[in-house]
Amino acid sequence: MAFIDWVLHPTELWAAFWFFMRHAPPDEKTVKLQVSGDMKRCYDFLEMTSRSFAAVIQELNPKLRDGICLFYLVLRGLDTIEDDMTIPGARKRHLLETFHETIYQKGWTFEESGPDEKDALLLVEFDVVINEFLRLPKEFQDVIADITRRMGAGMAKYTRARVESLDDYNEYCHYAAGLVGHGLSRLFAVSGLEAKSVGEELELANSMGLFLQKTNITRDINEDVLDGRCFWPKAVWSKYADSEEHLIDRENRDKGMEALNEMCTNVLQHIPDVLEYLSQIKEPSVFRFCAIPQVMAIATIVLCYDNSRVLDGNVKIRKGEALKLISQATTLDSVKRTFYGYVEQLERKNHPDNPMHGQVAKIIDRTKKDIASTLKGGAPVDFTKEYLVLALFFVTVTAFFYTYLTEKSSL
């Protein structure tokens, strides 16, 4: 199947070729070998807990790299506690609510994680994260501690509360991801790499986080329900099913699909804010850091829209598609073209008999008009030329190897 995917999507093969050429195996110049001691171990943990995110962080400007690595690890530690269903409720709430103080306690570690907690080792050796956190400039520490405090309080609240209304849903996603957007924006600003306004006007940063979090929640419905939890707001799913389990029941598939499409539509409303936020980011490595997750999200939510496979299991974009998206997330113009392309895919999937058709059509029309009016160099890219170039490339490579093998066989 993977081979067929490459054949059917040759532009992705081209993107993969250049990605692996650019990201060759690490040598003595890599970030991990420029650091030593506890910070090197922190980058090890970054690789263990999020390989894809680790690569993006390691390409950041040195003014931000270590700070954002540690910000990620602190929040990963907090999230590991929140996800662990073996920790008693009262104990968990205390840990979450005081974690912003814990990160100042040298030598603190945690060995109470359940046996199935995949990131438990991070907490077992969390003292190395604390050591490096305490070496950061105070303005970095202040941002990380403040976001940790607010996120921990939100997580503690939702160990007891349920996501009932759309307001609850937005609040939960704010705690889970919107605050990450706040923290990153503030770090960008205090580093001096971005304007102060990026760290002060945070509504767009919140939308960036919500776009990612809601995409994941929408996609992961089957896995979450089977794990005995559901982050879809009851205000949505209760219109289509008697219970969360009924939502993914094949016998209720038509209604389940209507619920899925309503959830996707809720995600899509954040597109204008995402593009507006990215237009404010000027430093190239920061832009890529912000843009890559967003292009992944638009590809994922368009894949999920009106796709019954979401209710049966986890769906993911192709690896080649992901590599292509990474290669395209370099400039605002390129990102806008990427969004435009996926919105066109969405338009083809948005059938008139879909109850969400009208709302989605409005989002599509607005997005296409906004992007087309600001694109440099005219209309979005015509992928026909790209395929012609790739066809020429493959013909050339094939001819080379044919000539080589022919000459070799004649010797």
Domain locations in the chain as residue ranges: 32-161, 162-372
Check 91, 162, 229, 253 and give the catalytic one: 229
pLDDT at residue 17 is higher than 60: no
CB 187 within 8 A of CB 140: yes
The position carrying tokens 């389940």 is 256
CB 379 within 8 A of CB 340: no
Model confidence, pTM: 0.85
pLDDT band at 35 (very low <50, low <70, confident <90, very high): confident
- Range from 24-28, 47-51, 344-348 that averages highest in pLDDT: 344-348
Check 93, 186, 219, 288 and give the catalytic one: 219
32-161 and 162-372, same CATH topology: yes
The position carrying tokens 């580093």 is 191
pLDDT digits (tens, 9 = 90+) for 306-355: 999 999 998 999 888 998 999 989 999 999 999 999 999 999 999 999 99
pLDDT band at 37 (very low <50, low <70, confident <90, very high): confident
pLDDT digits (tens, 9 = 90+) for 384-410: 444 554 555 555 555 555 565 566 555
Average pLDDT over residues 363-374: 95
Residue 274: per-residue pLDDT? 98
CB 251 within 8 A of CB 237: no
Single-letter residue type at 13? L
Residue, of 15 and 149, whose pLDDT is higher? 149
Single-letter residue type at 341? G
Check 53, 140, 172, 175 and give the catalytic one: 172
Check 99, 110, 133, 289 and give the catalytic one: 289
CB 78 within 8 A of CB 155: yes
The verdict on domain 162-372 having CATH code 3.40.50.300 is no
pLDDT band at 171 (very low <50, low <70, confident <90, very high): very high
Q: How many residues in total does the chain contain?
A: 411
Fold observed for domain 32-161: Farnesyl Diphosphate Synthase (1.10.600)
pLDDT at residue 228 is higher than 90: no
Question: In angstroms, what CA-CA distances link 215 with 77, 266, 284?
Answer: 22, 9, 25
Is residue 172 flagged as an active site residue?
Answer: yes
Average pLDDT over residues 213-229: 94
Is residue 289 flagged as an active site residue?
Answer: yes
Task: For residue 378, give the nearest of 342, 410, 329, 336 by alpha carbon.
Answer: 336
Residue 378: per-residue pLDDT? 57
Cα 394 from chain centroid? 33
pLDDT digits (tens, 9 = 90+) for 126-143: 999 999 999 999 999 999
How far apart CA 58 and CA 71 sit, in angstroms, is: 13
